[in-house]
Amino acid sequence: MKKYIGIDLGGTNVRAAVVDELGNVLCEVKQETEMEKGREFVVSKMIDMIKSLDDYQSCLGIGIAVPGPVKTDENVMTMATNVPGFEFYEFYKIIEKEIGLPVFLDNDVNSAALAEAVHGAGKNDNIIYYVTVSTGIGGAAVINKKVLSGRFGYAGEIGNIIIDRNRKKYNHLNIGAVENEASGLAMIRRGRELFNTSFTSAKQLFDLVKANDPQAIKLVDDIAYDLAVMLSSVAHVVDPHVFVFGGGVMQSKDLFLPLVKKYFDELVHDAMRDIRFELAQLNEPGIVGAAMLAKESIK
pLDDT digits (tens, 9 = 90+) for 127-165: 999 999 998 999 999 999 999 988 888 898 899 999 999
pLDDT at 196 over 90: no
The full set of domains in the chain, from first to last, is 3-113+284-298 (3.30.420.40), 124-279 (3.30.420.40)
The string of pLDDT tens digits covering residues 245-283 is: 999 999 999 999 999 999 999 999 999 999 999 999 998
Query: Do residues 10 and 108 touch, judged by C-beta distance below 8 A?
Result: yes
Query: Do residues 100 and 28 touch, judged by C-beta distance below 8 A?
Result: no
Residue 165 has a pLDDT of 95
Residue 162 has a pLDDT of 97
The string of pLDDT tens digits covering residues 36-77 is: 999 999 999 999 999 999 989 999 999 999 998 999 989 999
Query: Do residues 185 and 201 touch, judged by C-beta distance below 8 A?
Result: no
pLDDT at 174 over 80: yes
**Cα–Cα distance, 64 to 78 (Å, whole number):** 15
Residues with Cβ within 8 Å of 81's Cβ and at least 6 positions away in sequence, in order, are 67, 68
Report the alpha-carbon angle 36-39-43, nearest 5: 120
**Cα–Cα distance, 18 to 52 (Å, whole number):** 11
Question: Which of the four pLDDT bands, split at 50, 70 and 90, describes residue 80?
Answer: confident
**Cα–Cα distance, 238 to 271 (Å, whole number):** 14
CA atoms in the 13 A half-sphere facing the CB of 226: 29
- DSSP per position, 75-111: TEES--SSSTT-BT--HHHHHHHHH-S-EEEEEHHHH
Residue 29 has a pLDDT of 96
Coil, helix or strand for 8?
Answer: strand
Residue 154 has a pLDDT of 87
Can you tell me the mean pLDDT for 174-196? 94
Question: Which of the four pLDDT bands, split at 50, 70 and 90, describes residue 177?
Answer: very high
From residue 207, give the alpha-carbon distance in Å to each of 144, 155, 211. 40, 34, 6
The string of pLDDT tens digits covering residues 15-38 is: 999 999 999 999 999 999 999 999
Residue 212 has a pLDDT of 97
Residue 82 has a pLDDT of 87
Residue 84 has a pLDDT of 92
Can you tell me the mean pLDDT for 221-232? 98
Can you tell me the mean pLDDT for 81-104? 95
